[in-house]
Chain A
Amino acid sequence: MKRNRVVVTGLGVVASNAVGINDFLKAIQNGENGIQFQQELKDLNFSCQIGGTPEISEETLNQYFTKLEQKGLLASGLIYGGIAGQEAWSDAKLSTSETVDFDSGIIFGTGVLGVDKLREAFQKIDAKNVRRLGSTSVLQTMASGISAFLGGKLGCGNQVTTNSSACTTGTEAMIMGFERIQSGKAKRMLIGSCSDSGPYVWGGFDALRILPYQYNDQPEVASKPMSANAAGFVPSSGAGALVLESLESAQNRNAEIYAEVLGGHVNSGGQRQGGSMTAPNSTAVKICISETLKNSKLNSTDIDLINAHLTATAMDSTEIQNWSEALSLSDTNFPYINSLKSHIGHALAAAGSIELVAGILQLKHGFVAPNLNCEDIHPEILKLVDETKIPRKYIETKLNVMLKASFGFGDVNACVALKSFKNEK
């Protein structure tokens, strides 16, 4: 069977430290932190009163949503995903014509969509006022509302769906879109993921006592992946989006190519062998990484950068150990590794796609984004990796191959391999 090569031709992003690709590139180069104190969380007696919420200007909102679409619009995830998805599409210089394009599809994931709209709906329903919900309650609160919204905006006629696998969602969406193009079922797939902001998404994690409560007066230093003082992940939100396209389609229309997707793997640890709802089965993680290398036809020494999951919990050392064992690399042989969560916190379902966008920008522009807030690297990590491989400052360097992995609630894993693209014509 002929397998199509797949490339990335468009990017879009809404993150807590920047909205839009140009500002986001500068933000991750400069190590700008997007975590803010959240008065609302304090008022609601949260232990963790900080989080990452993207700032959406009136101008940006008007650019991507009509006045009518903005009416009663409370689903923050839909706003973030709607902006990122349309930005990626226009970044790829794809049109939004009146006709339907049966070769273009969408896989845009989320954890839960529109919790603030749901809350409004529940209040109206409980007040026996269901008749007053309005026409957009369904669109704003069904998980696939985001792909349905983008599908209508862009006129996509291939598969239009939403995937959901906790914190692996965005990375899983990339693999699903990649496989669809690779097998010839679509020429272009807009893939990505989004996550709502606020107490109704973050509350469950505060209740699990896995968010840091020590940094409410210093939000910018709270997210500490790989640090000896990592105190839990900082809740965040936003959206990332990428246009995947067959190499043939991209070259036929002279599209700018950011990177090539070489391969990837998705699996689960089955919540066995040390794995649980919240902890990964390390054997499954290592299989996920090594299967990615195998189907991407890569050796572990080919890897220049690991775009890690690393959330700033006690599991960070375990993740590093899994990478080290899966790749059989350690000390100075270990590739560069960074975690964007030190900049923007953990954007939950949106994490994978925002971090993929960040990773592809690093491949394209040849740099490693700094790891913030880990001047004191955890001693268990230093036993495995030389500290020069954990840059705390911006490094300009040519990168060829990057691995991105995401691990999620429910013991689910996703890993993908990307390569910088040289025009071969």
Chain B
Amino acid sequence: MTHNEIIQKLKSIVEPYVNNQPNFEQLNENSDFIKDLEINSANLVDVVLDVEDEFDIRIENDDMEKMLNVEATVDVIQKKLNQK
């Protein structure tokens, strides 16, 4: 899966949790889930669960802690996909 494909899938995963629509429309690698997209911190758990379902991977606590912005999240997903 290409980097861009992962970002597109991630974009549709985070959409229901987003509270800042203009920033969501301009989502890019640097977008921060909490600061830019204004996702409620409790919902980050749900984003991770939805990522697990969508990509059929399992994300452990240490990786989960890194998943605070688009770039880091894509890196974690890419790493897990490569291990499959």
- Hey, which chain B residues are within 8 Å of A132, CB to CB? 49
Q: CB distance B16 to A134 under 8 Å?
A: no
The interface bits of chain A over 45-75 (1 if a CB of B lies within 8 angstroms of the residue's CB, else 0) are: 0000000000000000000000110010000
Judged by a CB distance under 8 angstroms, whether B1 is at the interface is no
Q: CB distance B16 to A68 under 8 Å?
A: yes
Judged by a CB distance under 8 angstroms, whether B45 is at the interface is yes
**Overall SS of chain B's interface:** helix
Q: CB distance B43 to A135 under 8 Å?
A: yes
Q: CB distance A71 to B16 under 8 Å?
A: yes
Judged by a CB distance under 8 angstroms, whether B17 is at the interface is yes
- Hey, which chain B residues are within 8 Å of A135, CB to CB? 42-43, 45-46
Distance between Cα atoms of A71 and B17 in the complex (Å): 10
The interface bits of chain B over 43-70 (1 if a CB of A lies within 8 angstroms of the residue's CB, else 0) are: 1011001000000000000000000000
- Hey, which chain B residues are within 8 Å of A71, CB to CB? 16, 46
Distance from A71 Cβ to chain B, minimum over Cβ atoms (Å)? 7
Closest to B40 in A: A135
Q: CB distance B45 to A134 under 8 Å?
A: yes
The interface bits of chain A over 123-157 (1 if a CB of B lies within 8 angstroms of the residue's CB, else 0) are: 00000000010110000000000000000000000
Distance between Cα atoms of A135 and B41 in the complex (Å): 10
Distance from B11 Cβ to chain A, minimum over Cβ atoms (Å)? 16
Distance from A46 Cβ to chain B, minimum over Cβ atoms (Å)? 34
Distance from A342 Cβ to chain B, minimum over Cβ atoms (Å)? 43
Distance between Cα atoms of A135 and B43 in the complex (Å): 6
- Hey, which chain B residues are within 8 Å of A67, CB to CB? 16
Q: Name the residue among A68, A71, A132 with the largest chain B CB count within 10 angstroms.
A: A68
Q: CB distance A134 to B49 under 8 Å?
A: yes
Distance from A295 Cβ to chain B, minimum over Cβ atoms (Å)? 44
Distance between Cα atoms of A134 and B49 in the complex (Å): 7
* Interfacial residues of chain A within 75-91, with CB under 8 A of chain B in the complex: none
Distance from B21 Cβ to chain A, minimum over Cβ atoms (Å)? 13
Closest to A67 in B: B16
Distance from B10 Cβ to chain A, minimum over Cβ atoms (Å)? 17
The interface bits of chain A over 176-214 (1 if a CB of B lies within 8 angstroms of the residue's CB, else 0) are: 000000000000000000000000000000000000000
Distance from A367 Cβ to chain B, minimum over Cβ atoms (Å)? 45
Distance between Cα atoms of A71 and B16 in the complex (Å): 9
Distance from B8 Cβ to chain A, minimum over Cβ atoms (Å)? 20
- Hey, which chain B residues are within 8 Å of A134, CB to CB? 45-46, 49
Closest to B64 in A: A131
Distance between Cα atoms of A165 and B42 in the complex (Å): 31
Distance between Cα atoms of A185 and B17 in the complex (Å): 37
- Hey, which chain A residues are within 8 Å of B16, CB to CB? 67-68, 71
Closest to B53 in A: A132
Q: CB distance B45 to A68 under 8 Å?
A: no
Distance from B3 Cβ to chain A, minimum over Cβ atoms (Å)? 27
Sampled A-B contacts (14; CB under 8 Å): A67-B16, A68-B16, A68-B17, A68-B43, A71-B16, A71-B46, A132-B49, A134-B45, A134-B46, A134-B49, A135-B42, A135-B43, A135-B45, A135-B46
Partner-B contacts on A (CB < 8 A): 67-68, 71, 132, 134-135
Please give 11 more A-B residue pairs, beta carbons under 8 A apart, in addition to A71-B16, A71-B46, A135-B45. A67-B16, A68-B16, A68-B17, A68-B43, A132-B49, A134-B45, A134-B46, A134-B49, A135-B42, A135-B43, A135-B46
